[in-house]
Amino acid sequence: MTFASLGIDKDIVEALETKGITTPFPIQQEAIPLALTGQDIIGQAKTGTGKTFGFGLPLIQSLGFEPTLGAKALVVVPTRELAIQVAEDLVLACSNRPTKVATLVGGSAYEGQISDIEAGAQIIVGTPGRIIDLSKQKKLDLSHIRFMVLDEADEMLDLGFLPDVERLFAYTPADRQTMLFSATMPGSIVSLARKYQNRPVHIRVNDPDEGHTKADIKQVVYRAHNMDKDEVVGRILQAEGRGKTVIFCKTKRQAAKVSEEMIDRGFNASALHGDMSQEARERSMAAFRSGKKDILVATEVAARGIDVDDVTHVINYTIPEDEKAYLHRTGRTGRAGRTGIAVTFVDWEDLTRWKNINQMLELGIEEPVETYSSSKHLFEDLGIPAGTKGRIKASAWPDGIRPRTDDAPGRQGGNRGGSGGRGGSANRGAAPRDGARGGARDGAAKSAPREGGHTKPAHGDGEHKRPPVDRQRRRTRGGSQS
């Protein structure tokens, strides 16, 4: 089967062929003919199976070869990275016709996006906040929208995004064609989706012999110790056949810390999380796509829709929140017919959560095996050469001193360029003490993190103590004499 046999125009087919895209995936085979008829669709297929072209190609074709200027199609996605990726795919598909695509995301300047709208872009791809913002400013007119798509629809119809999505539906005409696509589509979300659609057809594309996860992804789950995870990761990154790798972390701070640790160990890593500017996020993703960086340490911001074909490994440094997050994270590998490996670390306190994920996805891994960096099965499971260590270069930080990612700027490590700093071992020849003000700190000893990432310096054993009564009296007496 070809795209032409599905009814796609020759110029679109030729545009796809320039990138070697010639054979439609099952979700495309099912969705494209229906979408071309104007039918509302709920499309459900596993990650990495071509959902973007499943709605993108009929959308472009239905607009016509030379559509009139102005927004006619709206594609709404949950993250900036996914918006940029979807827009790139649509630009490719309509490269042989004058149809224009505008990408509207937060964190970027308004001027360029407004210029694209004023130039008459017919397809709008973006995140809800920026689309609504430009609509309120009267810069974007959604009253002539004929096609509306929610990509990662289960996320878009979740409580966090729902008010914005409802507003966007209200901005668009009631007779629009509406298509919803996602890898996971719980029954409650399907019921909610029907509220915004006209008798939709629910397309599910799954191999009946497959489980919930993709068969071409090897699932490996370890019960790992938090203090040993970095060493385990360092050894996994030297496994045979290891290509691009995504490491998922729970928090922005943890992602930054793990990225710094991997760089210090000699690996070519970069971070991707919400505290980074949009420009920095785009640079990080571009470096990962191009291969300049082969390790991406990310939060959930990269778990949905990020399509980098040659990701061989996904490592869940921390366990996902639920089975849906697990599917989306692990789905970053094994894409477009390739195989992949997903490694998940389960902390002791997360065993109950893991059992729920295991039960929902029927993975058959009830009790993750206890694993350390020296465990023999770690090397055997993942093809790691015997004797491999988790570091490929000496640390740049002397004597185990590391910068603290949670300190305020200019206070990292407390060293200020010296070995002891103010109050450290260089302070008037005094012996260094744990938690000394300005001295190098480990992060756990004698310091308590506060909100905002600042750390309260410890004094001695961490408490302010009054001097003995006799000393107080002497000080008072001395003060009165002077």
pLDDT tens-digit map of 206-239: 654 344 566 678 999 999 999 999 999 999 999 9
Any idea which fold 217-382 has?
Answer: Rossmann fold (3.40.50)
Predicted confidence at residue 346, as pLDDT, reads 95
Are domains 4-205 and 217-382 of this chain identical in fold?
yes
Q: Three-class SS of residue 470?
A: helix
Predicted confidence at residue 135, as pLDDT, reads 96
CATH superfamily membership of 4-205: P-loop containing nucleotide triphosphate hydrolases (3.40.50.300)
pLDDT in 10s for each residue of the chain, 482 residues: 899 999 999 999 999 999 999 999 999 999 999 999 999 999 988 776 788 999 999 999 999 999 999 999 999 998 888 899 999 999 999 999 999 999 999 988 999 999 999 999 999 999 999 999 999 999 999 999 999 999 988 888 876 788 999 999 999 999 999 999 988 888 878 888 888 899 999 998 865 434 456 667 899 999 999 999 999 999 999 999 999 999 999 999 999 999 999 999 999 999 998 888 888 888 998 899 899 999 999 998 776 756 787 899 999 999 998 888 898 888 888 876 688 999 999 998 999 999 999 998 888 898 999 999 999 999 999 999 999 999 998 887 765 556 554 433 333 333 333 333 333 333 433 343 333 333 333 444 434 444 444 444 444 433 344 444 444 444 444 444 43
> What does the alpha-carbon distance between residue 471 and residue 477 come to, in Å, rounded to a whole number?
10
Predicted confidence at residue 455, as pLDDT, reads 43
Predicted confidence at residue 399, as pLDDT, reads 58
The order of strands in the sheet holding 269-272 is 269-272, 295-298, 244-248, 311-316, 340-346, 217-224, 369-371
> What does the alpha-carbon distance between residue 65 and residue 230 come to, in Å, rounded to a whole number?
53
The answer to whether 182 and 44 are in contact (CB under 8 A) is yes
Handedness of CA 11, 14, 19, 20 (dihedral sign): positive
- Which residues pair with residue 41 across a beta bridge? 179, 201
> What does the alpha-carbon distance between residue 94 and residue 14 come to, in Å, rounded to a whole number?
10
Q: Considering the chain, what percentage of its residues have pLDDT values greater than 70?
A: 79
> What does the alpha-carbon distance between residue 321 and residue 318 come to, in Å, rounded to a whole number?
9
> What does the alpha-carbon distance between residue 48 and residue 104 come to, in Å, rounded to a whole number?
24
Predicted confidence at residue 362, as pLDDT, reads 87
Predicted confidence at residue 38, as pLDDT, reads 95
User: Where along the chain do its domains lie?
Assistant: 4-205, 217-382
Query: Scanning the structure block, which residue is given the tokens 């872009």?
Result: 121
Predicted confidence at residue 452, as pLDDT, reads 41
> What does the alpha-carbon distance between residue 449 and residue 432 come to, in Å, rounded to a whole number?
22
Element (H, E) at 191: helix 187-193
Predicted confidence at residue 21, as pLDDT, reads 92
> What does the alpha-carbon distance between residue 378 and residue 234 come to, in Å, rounded to a whole number?
12
Distances (CA, A) of 209 to 26, 212, 293, 324, 363: 15, 10, 36, 20, 14
